[in-house]
Structure 1
Amino acid sequence: MTIAPRPRPAPAAGAAWSWRSRSARRWVYQALALAALAALVAWLFGNTWTNMRARGIQSGFDFLADTAGFEISEGVLDYSGSDPYWKAFLAGLLNTLRVAVIGCVLATLGGVLVGVGRLSRNALVRGLCRAYVELFRNVPLLIQLLVWYLIFVEVLPAPREPLTLGGWAFLSKGGLALPQPASGAGWGWVAAGAALGAGTAAALWLRERRRFRAVGGPPPGVLLQPMAIILAAGFLGWLAGGRPTAWDMPQPGGFSIEGGMSLTPEFMAVLLGLTAYTTAFVAEVVRAGIVSVGRGQLDAAASIGLPRALVLRLVVLPQALRVIVPPMTNQYLNLTKNSSLSVVVGYPDLVSIANTSLNQTGRAVECIAIIMAVYLVLSLGTSALMGAFNRRVAIRER
């Protein structure tokens, strides 16, 4: 006969603390470990501070308010050498975000196409997609960045004889020149209308979110309504802006392409390198997610006469998202952090600006701390956004 152990009575409220309590000992051990870690960090900072003072090395973040004194070759922020260091760091951060955001979008689109192509019934398409994945996944990213940069500065023709696409886009050693809306022509109203439409569509989506959850998810084609709202608002902005039609078109010149929007060789090399490299990994993530969907789902969709394209869009991809999203988050984080390699081709990202500031001010600890903090915040923000999206697409058992 087995005798069950006698349960221990719960401690009464207000009972004295006892070392025999496992919970009490656990709290003590955790407090001691935390105190030891805090003491170690304090000792490291104190020792570093003492050694820097002994060697006459200045420290602190007060240098951010000083004049930077160097120019930045390109960027989305209006910056000049007479601006302070903090504005130079901000310009570098915006350049990093510029290449990271565009790269994530392009890598996602390309990865979906290549991943689906790897499962194609056409042997040629399947072979080409596999060759792409194996090539770009196994060549180091640094080598790819250098190859793309050499293509722009060595292989492409000079700006006076560029490659052209229909007379509106030009590719040369000077980069890629594209047309852009003419300034002061009322295009700002179009952008404002589209932004207002996007805000309205987001508010409507949030209002309908509970109803979507109640019925098991949004119905097919639900994204058409927000797109219609954005397009309609942009059209109203176009009417309010005087129906602008003027565009600033690029034109080949003697030594450069004048007019339009110019994307430098450095930016194009970084963007193409990051996109091509990450696309190979995203394609494998998408392929694994599609393969994870049970064969019975495909047979059920085929039994009701759905075409293969609709089976992929309405049956396979929604279920594969629960497998795709977590590793896709890792690829977005890798792309953002890999953008720091753009310093090898001269693209003025955050790391490049920090290196220049470090050489001028000697504040190595501070500049490195800024880089670490910025990439930490970007990574945590990306993880939080993708985590929220993952919870939205997760299949809930009823």
Structure 2
Amino acid sequence: MADLTSRSDPNVLAFLRDVRFLRSLVQIIVLIVVIALAIWLINNTSEGLARARIPTDFSFLTQPSGFQIDEGLVDQPHRRTDSYANAFAVALINTLRAVILSLILATLLGLFVGIARLSTNFLLRSLALVYIEVFQNTPLLLQLFFIFTGVLLTLPRATEPIVLPGPSYLSSSGLATPNLIATETAMWWLLLTIIGIGGGITLWRRLRAIRLETGRTTYAAEIGLSVMIGVTVIAWLTLRPFTVDFPEIGRFGYVRGKGAIISANFVAIVLGLVLYTGAFIAEIVRSGIQSVPTGQWEAARSQGFTYGQILRLIVIPQALRVMIPPLTNQYLNLAKNSSLGAAVGFAEVFGVARTMAQSVSVVPIMVIVMGIYLSLSLITAAVMNVLNARFQIKTR
């Protein structure tokens, strides 16, 4: 028996000294502990909610909400008799409207200000720096309050608005602009536009390939863009896919059903998100441009490229490899910061959830809200990861 034990001990000790085995063992132990803690937390929470008689089911979603939402793509998108589920759907659409528009505008603003930070013009460079410092170093909530109460609510009343080109009207009630109403030919126009865009991109890629192979000037971008715009404009003039509905001013303000009325609440949250996030994007753009070696600029200048051509064709494509990861963080922050729209009365997901919590259990409501924001973040991160992989240098 002693001989058998002595022969097996070296094998056991060698097995225990195996780094791969020890790593796997530690991971298994940690996983078991995490699962046990999760089970304990779920059971403890369930027992606490049961003792407090707080419902956790989602049956309330089919019940009438008892409140209305006036903010949306259509007039009164949610009425008192509509369900809680419909209220969540309307709030999600409002959130997506604010997030997508703010994301596009903040990117454009950040790109412009980031380039301005590197300008040789002292005034332009200084203004860009002041903008960045002010909006980066003040809370977003404070900025929203200032934009809403200190700027938008101080505008003239809707009965005496500021007249803008269009015609459009700006007042403390929001922005009224012309609205496009689709006709029966709108789908045909959209189909032709998609075909034109596809054909323009195909032609551009083919002409660019010819230029790279032969060195001849093919004007690929100009011809491709001309095809896209030409097909779209010709189809528009031929089919007349939309009619224009102009806003009107009545006795008590904007006339409902005339034009597109954008509420002051929506303008406030979009403007706040754009100005705040744009300041951070500007610094990302600046650092990305500065990461490109100086030799790239000098080589481009020696070949006769203009400043705009250097940025568009040489610097920005290389800088994107550095810019996209931090841009992803800013886009995620923008999506989550849209929940501050509740502070200025915008009917987004969190604001509508707060209204619901006054009449139904808050637990399932918060679960739904967390799920919505988690989904937004995961989708945004997935899209940006695909874009990041597209721009990275591929090596063998």
TM-score, normalised via structure 1 length = 0.85
CA drift of 1:358 comes to 1.9
- Whether the aligned pair in 2 keeps the contact of 1:193 and 1:235 (CA below 8 Å) is no
Q: Does 1:23 align with 2:27?
A: no
Alpha-carbon RMSD: 3.1
Amino acid of the residue matched to residue 67 of structure 2?
F
Aligned mate of 1:369, from 357, 367, 370: 367
Amino acid of the residue matched to residue 46 of structure 1?
N
Aligned mate of 1:252, from 246, 249, 252: 249
CA drift of 1:20 comes to 5.0
Aligned mate of 2:32, from 30, 35, 38: 35
CA drift of 1:196 comes to 5.8
CA drift of 1:332 comes to 0.7
Residue 311 and residue 167 in structure 1: after superposition, are their counterparts in 2 closer, same or farther (change >3 A)? Answer: closer
Amino acid of the residue matched to residue 343 of structure 1?
A
CA drift of 1:190 comes to 3.2
Alignment of 1:332-343 (within 5 A): 332-343=331-342
CA drift of 1:341 comes to 0.6
Q: Does 1:86 align with 2:116?
A: no
2:9 alignment partner in structure 1? none
- Whether the aligned pair in 1 keeps the contact of 2:200 and 2:228 (CA below 8 Å) is no
User: Tell me, which stretches of 5 or more residues in structure 1 are unaligned?
Assistant: 1-14
CA drift of 1:365 comes to 1.9
1:5 alignment partner in structure 2? none
Residue 65 and residue 175 in structure 1: after superposition, are their counterparts in 2 closer, same or farther (change >3 A)? Answer: same
TM-score, normalised via structure 2 length = 0.85
Question: Over residues 339-377 of structure 1, what are the superposed CA-to-partner deviations in whole Å (9 max), with x where a residue is unaligned?
Answer: 111101110100011112222112x22111112111111
2:3 alignment partner in structure 1? none
CA drift of 1:106 comes to 0.2
Alignment of 1:95-134 (within 5 A): 95-134=94-133
Alignment of 1:191-270 (within 5 A): 191-195=190-194, 200=198, 231=229, 234-235=232-233, 238=236, 242-244=239-241, 246-258=243-255, 259-270=258-269
CA drift of 1:83 comes to 2.1
Separation (CA, whole Å) in 2 of partners of 1:220 and 1:397: 30
Structure number with the higher helix fraction is: 2
Separation (CA, whole Å) in 1 of partners of 2:306 and 2:152: 47
1:379 alignment partner in structure 2? 377
Number of residue pairs the alignment of both structures matches: 374
Q: Which moved more, 1:187-196 or 1:140-149?
A: 187-196
Alignment of 1:339-354 (within 5 A): 339-354=338-353
Alignment of 1:299-318 (within 5 A): 299-318=298-317
1:138 alignment partner in structure 2? 137
User: Tell me, which stretches of 5 or more residues in structure 2 are unaligned?
Assistant: 1-11
Separation (CA, whole Å) in 2 of partners of 1:220 and 1:158: 55
1:7 alignment partner in structure 2? none
- Whether the aligned pair in 1 keeps the contact of 2:110 and 2:280 (CA below 8 Å) is yes
2:164 alignment partner in structure 1? 165
Separation (CA, whole Å) in 1 of partners of 2:357 and 2:219: 52
Alignment of 1:6-17 (within 5 A): none
Separation (CA, whole Å) in 1 of partners of 2:120 and 2:19: 61
Separation (CA, whole Å) in 1 of partners of 2:91 and 2:224: 33
CA drift of 1:38 comes to 1.4
Q: Does 1:154 align with 2:153?
A: yes
Separation (CA, whole Å) in 1 of partners of 2:85 and 2:196: 34
Question: Over residues 221-262 of structure 1, what are the superposed CA-to-partner deviations in whole Å (9 max), with x where a residue is unaligned?
Answer: 86667755654554465367x425631111222222232111
Residue 245 and residue 56 in structure 1: after superposition, are their counterparts in 2 closer, same or farther (change >3 A)? Answer: closer
SS at match of 1:40: helix
CA drift of 1:270 comes to 0.3
